[in-house]
Amino acid sequence: MSFEWPWQYNFPPFFTLQPNVDTRQKQLAAWCSLALSYCRHHKLYTLDVMEAQESPVFNHKNIDRKLSTDAILIVFEELRKKGNLEWLDKNKTRCLVMWRRPEEWGKLIYQWVSKNGMANTVFTLYELANGDDTESEEFHGLEDWMLIRSLQALQMDGKAEVITMDDGKGVKFF
């Protein structure tokens, strides 16, 4: 299934940061949703600003428009404010993109667990993310850091407990 671009993607002004405040808000909102859905479609968890600049999201070759680095940073900052992005370094060159926030992932995992009646079972992280049982689930292939964060979010709610095992980490659901 190929990625479906929003209508804005073919609209040249989309790639110029709008000076009008109202217009800019709408523009940024569109950018945020585009960036997130693109990452989701391609299962991207980390982004490099320099690389992002060249990626088709921010560089539309067909209409010869690209979003400037400054504008990309503004979009990323907007995503950060919404809790969908975290910077990996102070210079803001790399970031984690969370097209689902940890709590949302946690919820998904927990739903799967309760649906299959596997509460009070212990899983290794590898089993959860890469095991055969979860192949059809959305969280299949979730990166470790993200998985841990989602489980930690569950732990906060008292629905799971992350435990350290001999060869890595495991989790027990309640």
Partner 1 sequence: MDRFTWSNGLLEMNETLVIQQRGVKLYDGEDKAKLDVGIALLSTHQLIWRDLKNNECCIAIPLSQIIYFEEQAAGIGKSAKIVIHLHSAPANKEPGPYQQSKFSYIKLSFKEHGQIEFYRRLTEELSQKRWESTPMSQPIPTATDSQTGRTRAVGIVGIERKIEERRKETDKNISEAFEDLSKLMVKAKEMVELSRSIANKIKDKQGDITEDETIRFKSYLLSMGIANPVTRETHGSGTHYHLQLAKQLGDMLLAPLEERGGMMVLTEVYCLVNRARGMELLSPEDLVNACKMFESLKLPLRLRIFDSGVMVVQLQSHSEEEMISSALDNVTDKGSLTAEEFAKMLGLSVLLSKERLLLAEKMGHLCRDDSVEGLRFYPNLFNSQA
Residue placing its CB nearer to partner 1 in the complex, 37 or 155: 37
- What minimum distance in Å lies between the beta carbon of 10 and partner 1? 10
Among 1, 2, 4, 20, binds partner 1 (CB under 8 A): 20
- What minimum distance in Å lies between the beta carbon of 20 and partner 1? 6
Residue placing its CB nearer to partner 1 in the complex, 16 or 69: 16
- Interface of this chain with partner 1, residues 61 to 120, rule: CB under 8 A: 64-65
Helices (H), the chain: 21-42, 49-54, 69-81, 102-115, 125-130, 144-156
Query: Residue 170: what residue type?
Result: G
- For position 59 contacting partner 1 by CB under 8 A, the verdict is no
Q: How far apart are CA 43 and CA 151, in angstroms?
A: 19
Radius of gyration of the chain measured on its C-alpha atoms: 19
Q: How far apart are CA 28 and CA 45, in angstroms?
A: 20
Binding residues vs partner 1 (CB under 8 A): 7-8, 11-13, 15-16, 18-20, 22-23, 26-27, 29-30, 64-65
